[in-house]
Chain A
């Protein structure tokens, strides 16, 4: 515990994001500071337009801040170029999106294999089968996304995210496109896998009940991040 407290997995310092709009400068993130430690589960809540997705994007290196620093596993994220950040993402970060974001021309197992193949991992297919089996879709491995229901697609997406055994899992409204019952099952699966692999979970959600399942809860409002007890 002392080790995790002294070495955060994600260390964000004085992060700002300002964009230019027709009405002048728009501050999306305003002096955000954050430390997230390994195996923590963190929920970021807030109204639409508060800046949650912007923060998530920057934490994953998908976007570049106007100023500030992000250390990911002690590596200065924005000292790397676009490709360097992509490679780091591939190793360390898993994603689960609201709209699943499966590649329609790949089967379920091929979607899961994708990050493994990009990392040129041996035994990618075997690993993918194991993870698919874990999410209960081993019998649907050769099906295309259009042949799966919403819940099944999200399970494939979760399998893809966990296939590389990431240190961090970023989930952006993972149940946003699902009905309540399916959503609950998905969340259960997400937390279950998270516990098994000891992944750090950062979850963006409107859902208060989902947020309350996390160890920490942060509130985003007009670009400012505040921890809620």
Chain B
């Protein structure tokens, strides 16, 4: 113990010297970049989690929310009252809103006067003015609207708008409301209306697609009792959300984003590990003589280990702390890009991301730097007398297994899910292996054709070929970062563009929904009078699947995500005489046109697959308070990309007679005929017009923001790749120094050497870019064919970006990092290296 203090002092003294010599920069910055990446992602996700937990009430607007597709029976309100709970009714659905000259699809929210039960409403009387919090909702005859609706309808406070059959005065701008959530799922601007006004609008008809909610608040114990009551009632149509599972759609989406961002950040940690391993190995190599001398003058193995362990830990702690601070600063960028998706104010983060980031840094550093450092204590003192008598070999690749295993644990920890974590580990390993295999093959090809190259390319490539292990490691490191960025560029640009352009020009761009059966003739006349093509009308009945082959089914009993989704909500059923275009029978037979055809269902193939249905299975649906049951007699494959009206379940004619239904109609509206919608909405106030282009634009915006966030994180991966390059250059520094000194001694000019260096690193960058572009192209093809169901097409921009970007980036950094081998006088180098 008495020796610890002098050891520490000696370690710090040596560390100061080492730092000044620049030997430790790569190790330090590799760790710093990795910790920054991990910490910035974790600060962001931590704030999202804390928002979802701390402000769950505000996300719900209550302590408990019941949701259904039908009105709640009075018993639920009575039960709440009997338990002393507060209850507020809420209805929400899409609806058209008309001003004098414009129309707009909105999300109408109709609430009882006591709304919200938790949180506050925020309004302002002027666009962009500061909001004021209010405790009372809008009064009858008036509405509060979101700012973007003011702009879309070109209205001001006090103007009149029409919703359904009723006119309303725009009383205020709705700036914030509990239960809104973020931008993720809110495509249409919100309108807040008093519950007293809904009947007068005439918007809700039998079969209308409306979401009914009952918001409940009160004491925790009473809420628990109420929840148990609702569950015991076993009403299949009712969903219950409490604080702990508020807004599952947001939680699921953010959980996915978190896992993917975490994976992206950890890819930079993996590369940092490689850079640290290379840099630590070089550091250890450079200190072999050092340690031998210390052993000579009395240092024990323990002392030597302590000195270097202190140094490594000190670097690790300082780099990690600075990385954590930088991560905190940079996470603001993620907040800027993605924060509004949640829709509540994000609280300050906890300390856990800092702890995790620092722990990741230390684990990475120790895992990859410790093996060569540990070997230093075994340096024999004999080395001072005779180097060849005192040889020591630094640990081989297997010694880094501990570091790899430690990183795997970090990945599992980051993913918060063992299965997902193991997938991530497996995925990362597979990606690296694939990159390495492609790199090896490419290097083989380059070597095979080297007789074709001219100097300085020849010399540059020769340097790469002579150090195959180092070259492959660097190609994998860069390939990973460049590939990720290319794939994201592909998704953001080419794939989405291609998907959009694959949609026929005259594909329906508007969908009319909530058409009452009585309105069909009038609608047909509407189009005829305006010399427009009369669209087709498709019946829709909202029904919930409750039995298969006589056995009750529900979301709880279903297995598989898709099956649970199908059983958790009402499906759109339809009926048809003929098999529609875009539908192909793959099993069974379509029903005949005879008048008394037997009751049958035709199902889409994913329904058959997800629910495990075969021909002959019987399905029982609950439609409002009625039931309908029939056997499956055919399975269809549907072309969902056709933008036509398609249905998962089609009933034979007559089976759904007498059940509450609405109609929907997809049609193409030429841009020049936009004002036709104003007339249509004015005449048929209950009909909702879905603008397909607007939805696609919104979805694209979300995808853009998410991919931007992921790209930001993968930039750290690229930076880590540069660290690997610099570590590789450093590890061959003496070799390059000697080579260039000899080259200059025998007549080579500085210019020739610079050109050789450039050739080497530009080639390395281009080879890495080639590997990246190749794999990105394959990934893009898989996404196009299997996910977007589009033809695969060649994207030459991807290749240009990969080759030129890789060549330029690696070329510049590599050249700058190795320039010093040329600037030292040859004689000095030869003298120095001959000792």
Contacts and interface: CB of A to CB of B under 8 A. Distances in A.
A102 B289 CA distance: 10
A114 interface: yes
Contacts of B419: none
Nearest to B384: A101
Interface stretch (B9-17, B114-122, B187-195, B648-656): B9-17
Nearest to B290: A103
A114 B295 CA distance: 11
B389 A63 contact: yes
B294 A57 contact: no
A97 B14 contact: no
A91 B6 CA distance: 17
Contacts, number: 86
B300 interface: yes
Contact of B300 (A62, A83, A99, A120): A83
A89 B300 CA distance: 10
B835 A99 contact: yes
Interface in B14-41: 14, 17-18, 21
A110 B17 CA distance: 12
A117 B385 contact: no
Given A62-B382, A105-B21, A91 B293 contact: no
A86 B302 CA distance: 11
Given A63-B389, A97-B384, A106 B17 contact: yes
Contacts of A53: 385-386, 389
B2 interface: yes
B192 to A, nearest CB: 71
Nearest to B298: A90
Interface string A17-49: 000000000000000000000000000000000
A75 interface: no
B296 interface: yes
B385 A62 contact: yes
A94 B6 CA distance: 21
Interface residues of B, number: 32
User: Which of B13, B289, B294, B382 has the largest number of chain A CB atoms within 10 A?
Assistant: B382
A172 interface: yes
Interface in A98-117: 99, 101-103, 105-106, 110, 114-115, 117
A142 interface: no
A127 B793 CA distance: 78
B3 interface: yes
Contacts of A54: 389
Interface residues of A, number: 32
A89 B294 contact: no
Contacts of B613: none
Interface in B263-320: 289-290, 292-303
A62 B379 CA distance: 11
B769 interface: no
A83 B299 CA distance: 8
A129 interface: no
Contacts of A89: 296-298, 381
A95 B290 CA distance: 15
B6 A115 contact: no
A160 to B, nearest CB: 7
A227 interface: no
A54 B389 CA distance: 9
A119 B298 contact: yes
B421 interface: no
Contacts of B381: 60, 62, 86, 89
Contacts of A117: 6, 9-10
B380 A118 contact: no
A188 interface: no
Given A82-B301, A101-B293, A57 B10 contact: no
A121 to B, nearest CB: 9
Contacts of B298: 86-87, 89-91, 115, 118-119, 164
A114 B385 contact: no
Interface in B133-147: none
Nearest to B19: A105
B21 A86 contact: no
A26 to B, nearest CB: 12
Contacts of A91: 298
B296 A62 contact: yes
Contacts of A95: 296-297, 384
A141 interface: no
Nearest to B9: A117
Nearest to A86: B300
Nearest to A99: B835
A56 interface: yes
Interface of A: 53-54, 56-57, 60, 62-63, 82-83, 86-87, 89-91, 95, 97, 99, 101-103, 105-106, 110, 114-115, 117-120, 160, 164, 172
Interface of B: 2-3, 6, 9-10, 13-14, 17-18, 21, 289-290, 292-303, 380-382, 384-386, 389, 835
Given A86-B300, A101-B296, 12 more contacts: A60-B381, A62-B381, A63-B382, A63-B389, A87-B300, A90-B299, A95-B297, A95-B384, A97-B384, A102-B293, A106-B17, A120-B2
